[in-house]
Structure 1
């Protein structure tokens, strides 16, 4: 109609119509494109769009066309409860996933080290570098839900960009950086601090975590706004291995070769690798200890081996000290019992990995109990079962002790016979005296008879009379022998070593020796032997000084120690000096060290030489402890039966680790989690394929649950009218980060360093971007490139969220660096006032972040 009118008018109005023509063209060209024809709608349009519920990847939407308010509330509650319950399932399968990672990264290889003096030492060194494992497998284990959510969202929606995955990664990073660190700062006891043990690595990972989000903003809003090219996605992904390599080089001090060169020159005990056992190639070439050889190992490699040996030696010294202390405190306990006590002490106090704390927190949240306390209870129960098994094998009868010394005028000597093992049966054993240098009838009274052990009795006594005379004579001895053991139903009359029945047998020592000391002269003082070999683990050595050939009168006997190759003063032994006092008729005394005897009368062995030897038995015990302190043993499983039994068992402990009857809350938690526990008990045990079978199956399970979480979160958001970007930052990020919060809390309290609690936060935040976003967007960009199109990404809400987080993260890291100054002394803890203020400040950063990000998402704040 406009064109027809235009043709009918005279040319005199041509100027007017020219302007009208221009207005019409501008109107048509500036008319907004409809939603169906727009790939990436403008931010103003998305702000006004209502949330639409659509089918998820695996779940159909449960939302009618015109629901009532009550209907909406009911559906929202169902979605929310289902979402929270799925978070529990992810935590439980992540428990299995982290256990496999702990087993994988704890593997060691055996190497032979040659010292400068030519001595070779065989030792075990870890295959995985701690920094590398933390930035790869450990970071993947703690951040697997966020990473997989981003990847699955892109792949499940036709390689279209989504809001839930990327915003969950940013929201999780904010929660980790602000909330977790705030909790860790406050939870430390007043006045205590925790410092990061490896600050260089922390600063490197912190720099990468800031760079990761700056880079994310650059590819969203600077390089190619609204589009992610293939090179941007691949470069983002490539930053992951670059970050790991740089952190590894920093940990190995490869950036400080000059300093390391000087350090190794002064280290005369530096070892070099001679051979690696179990490798496919023979590495038996000896490497000279010279810095100039081009074929030598790198300086830092030797230094790493030295540090490993030093740490292992310190651990062994700590174990020896603990064992000696426990042996002194519990002298009646067996070696196996002391070993288990020492093992629990070391496991409870040693530095632990991020995986251990994550699993420990998850199991406590899901009602599985305290890992260490449960291990102690299991070991105690195992010891009881072994003891019961030994008791059911029968009982042993023997002398305890088997040597006795008595004065000639004592009248009688009492010998003790002991029964161990099964005490439920009635057992009898014969005894009789036998002549030695002492004769029956003139020196002692002959005795024989039968000892009967009734049910429950474990000790019996034999009384032998001693004959006194006034004739001087040398010290004499005689014997008492056990034989002919019998039970209620069986009797076997053979030699003692073969005197065995189904229920009881005689064990060595089955002969007791009694020495009669003459009491008619003052006596001769001597050691029993001139040379004594002792084990280095003896603790306190007690040496007997004997008074032979008489016991008349009160005698004072001075003694002191003299250094040989062993040095006193706490180096090899503690020297002593003192005086032994023998009363009248007293025949021996104990001294706690070596005695160089003086007057009044010395025997043949008046000087005792003590040789301190390495205890091979004790060494095997320490070696056993070194292996058992590997935390992977506590977290590993060996069979499906073990996993299913653990899944259906309700566990509850007291504070001291003892078992107690489960409470009502324990049953509730168990019933809520038993479904997931039984389902994921089907995951292969960590013993299979050295943990890799568990690793692969677990990550597949995490992927399935993450897909379900994505659908539930989207359906919940559309039901209540909540945008995916806000839903991801508030609810999804919170749900995936709660186990990490409890893990960091436990690590902050029990670990003496801050690495396990906050040191891995920065590394995980960087890995989330490089893997979660880099891998997902690389696949999408390649897919659309092959279609001849571009991968479109709306930068608005995500770019603003990234910018806001980056600014706040810089403030957070600056505060942590300031806290390292002497005024506070560490990243965590401090005085009550300081730690409270810092915690509130970090918590305020998170609250401001989610509020401002939400306001921007709903266009109350317009930035991008």
Structure 2
């Protein structure tokens, strides 16, 4: 298979989508250019991590939105608009994998619907890094005295199964069914597996497929749930709740403070507590109420404590607006009332701030748009534009900044200035931030695609090797730090493990399914062209009759990479199952067992990179030798 175009990308006359910046760059010494491209690529990874964080913040705001629902009995309860599992496997997975997905799609468009070596291989390399390195680092971050276990086992079974199926499916379509060719039906099935995967996970999370999940668990390992405890002793535990589920506060011409009572029922022995915070609904913080958060503590024998809420002066002409006071994350063995608003995981009080005259004005809806919300959004936009110039975001924090903080601040300031057009998440429910961030990610990904190709060209390193090592490592670093933080803060292992298995599945179904469907349809419509014939003249393809074209994906290296990762994936999941069976948890436990597991996972990642690189470089040498024979 010959290269696209008349020239190599790093030679005079060659070019990528956005680079080189000027023609004279192509005449510079190759060693110098290799160093420059590597440094600029690393710096671009910093930019990707910054804009990816903004993208994830927008997704968090979007998926955390709640709505009020009236039950058949007339009672109003609060539900999240997004199911947690659906949010994790759709928008959250898109957020964590956006650079890889954009790279695969942009590379296809850049190469005139010919598949490249960077996009698909980056997805495979990123999946290997996520599963083997990120989980190993998260495992090592837990003290020996603590453990982290998967809480939603059925959802984990589904995501683990689909992550294995995704890469076995790639092996089938690349190496078995139609070698080196991806048909329309193959690409379409790959893409269609994404909504099916999300749907089946949602049904499992809601309990509709619980029997099927239990059957699957019993076949995988009858003792997999070892170490789980029966929670039938909850009758004696203290219950924390509000005295009522709704509360109306009449506005006044001056600021006022109201007290909300939190009750404790049960034997009231020992110290218990929980966290509390206000959450925006139709009311706007700073205009309709003041934000509050903190910790509540009940002393031994105490059965009631209060939370103070501040209400700013209200205009009598304003409509009534709502916000939530949320209790969560109990301590001391306390629980929430599963029958109350918020369920087992939280307790929710809906506070209605009425107009000052209390004239019965109707309550405002839960939509994100109001004049005050727009004021808040633009005010936050101005504040964040000023905050980027301070180390750690404010003059107070800057006084305590260390050398490392200053180095990061100086390095990241140009990127933060570039991203000033990105609105804050408080504007219009986070959607403008979502789309602007996604646009910047796509732009940076296009630059990274060119840089990676230039780097590989001047250093004579194949794109696949660059992708599974350098590019995959750089695009996955934000996921590493996010998963590490989530593992330390979350009492379960779901945030790290389920997110990894889910993201790896979405990477294939969306990151490869979408561009490959586009490519397969394009060549089926356009047919074989002289350029197509020249590019794939060296491949022994089983083409359809006539002049029909085909979407070619050279499987000799990509298929091998998928196969090696699939084997690594199965081994890694088995090791997690074994830890669950013998230790009762995926993370934590005795330090020596943590070290052994972490070394095993990281060693598998190095082995994956080494084997794939050896295969690609060896095949390249054989191809060169045959061409000279």
TM (norm. structure 1) is 0.50
User: How far off is 1:113 after superposition?
Assistant: 3.9
1:735, CA displacement in angstroms? 0.3
Q: Which residue of 1 aligns with 2:605?
A: 846
Query: Do 2:103 and 2:446's aligned partners in 1 also have CA atoms closer than 8 Å?
Result: yes
Pair 1:66–1:121, CA change in 2 (3 A): closer
Task: Decide which of 60, 84, 108 is 1:102's aligned counterpart.
Answer: 60
- Pair 1:834–1:653, CA change in 2 (3 A): farther
Distance 2:259 2:412 in 1: 36
CA RMSD, Structure 1 to Structure 2 (Å): 4.0
Equivalent residue, structure 2, for 1:83: 41
* Aligned counterpart in structure 1 of residue 275 of structure 2, from 337, 346, 353: 346
- Against the structure 1 CA distance between its residues 640 and 538, is the aligned structure 2 distance closer, same or farther, given a 3 Å change threshold? closer
Tell me if 1:771 matches 2:510.
yes
Which residue does the alignment assign to 1:784? 523
Contact 2:181 2:551 (8 Å CA) reproduced:
yes
Deviations 1:84-131 (A, max 9, x none): 11111111111221111111111111123467xxxx542211111111
Q: Among 387, 390, 394, which residue is 1:649 paired with?
A: 390
Q: Is the 8 A contact 1:214 1:806 kept in 2?
A: yes
| Cα deviations by residue, 1:670-696 (Å, 9 ceiling, x for unpaired) | 111111112212112323332222211
Counterpart position of 1:227:
181
SS at match of 1:60: coil
Q: Distance in 2 between matches of 1:831 and 1:738?
A: 27
The equivalences for 1:6-405 within 5 A come to: 53=11, 54-60=14-20, 71-113=29-71, 121-256=75-210, 316=241, 346=275
Deviation at 1:140, TM superposition (A): 0.1
Kindly indicate whether the alpha-carbon contact (under 8 Å) linking 2:242 and 2:349 is maintained by their aligned counterparts in 1.
no
Using the TM superposition, give the Cα deviation of residue 63 of structure 1 relative to its aligned residue in structure 2, in angstroms.
Answer: 8.8
Structure-2 change in CA distance of 1:189 and 1:64 (3 Å): same
Q: Tell me the CA shift for residue 226 of structure 1.
A: 1.4
TM-score calculated relative to the size of structure 2? 0.68
Report how far residue 50 of structure 1 moved: 9.6
Distance in structure 2 (CA, Å) of the matches to 1:130 and 1:202? 13
Q: Report the equivalent of 1:412.
A: none
1:714-739: CA deviations, max 9, x gaps? 11111111110000000000001111
Q: 1:698 is matched with which residue: 429, 433, 437?
A: 437
Q: Which residue of the partner structure matches residue 555 of structure 2?
A: 795
Confirm or deny: 8 A CA contact 2:424 2:430 kept in the other structure.
yes
- Checking the alignment, whether the CA contact within 8 Å between 2:51 and 2:419 is kept in structure 1 is yes
Secondary structure at 1:859 match in 2: helix
Contact 1:640 1:682 in 2 (8 A): no
Summarize the Cα distance change of 1:319–1:90 in structure 2 as closer, same or farther, 3 Å threshold.
Answer: farther
Provide structure 2 residue ranges, at least 5 long, that are not aligned to the other structure: 215-234, 246-256, 263-272, 279-290, 294-301, 307-333, 335-346, 353-367, 528-548, 624-629
Describe the SS at the equivalent of 2:583: coil
- How far has the Cα of 1:177 moved from its partner? 0.4
- Aligned partners of 2:179 and 2:602: how far apart in 1? 33
Measured in 2, the distance between the counterparts of 1:807 and 1:734 equals: 20
Preserved contact between residue 10 and residue 26 of structure 2 (Cα < 8 Å): no
1:384-783 pair list within 5 angstroms = 537=304, 639-651=380-392, 660-783=399-522
SS at match of 2:401: coil
Q: Supply the distance in 1 between the matched residues of 2:213 and 2:483 (Cα, whole angstroms).
A: 34
Q: 2:157–2:213: 8 Å Cα contact kept in structure 1? A: no
Aligned residues of 2:123 and 2:508 also touching (Cα < 8 A) = yes
Contact 1:637–1:643, Cα closer than 8 Å, also in 2: no
Distance 1:336 1:96, change over 3 A: farther
Work out the CA distance in 2 between the residues paired with 1:774 and 1:766: 11
In 2: Cα distance, 1:855 partner to 1:123 partner = 59
From the superposition, tell whether residues 178 and 314 of structure 1 become closer, same or farther in structure 2 (CA, over 3 Å).
Answer: farther
- Higher Rg: 1
Give the distance between the partners of 2:456 and 2:562, measured in 1 at CA: 21
Gaps of at least 5 residues in structure 1 are: 1-34, 40-48, 261-309, 321-333, 351-377, 381-534, 540-570, 572-619, 626-631
CA displacement at 1:59 relative to structure 2? 0.8
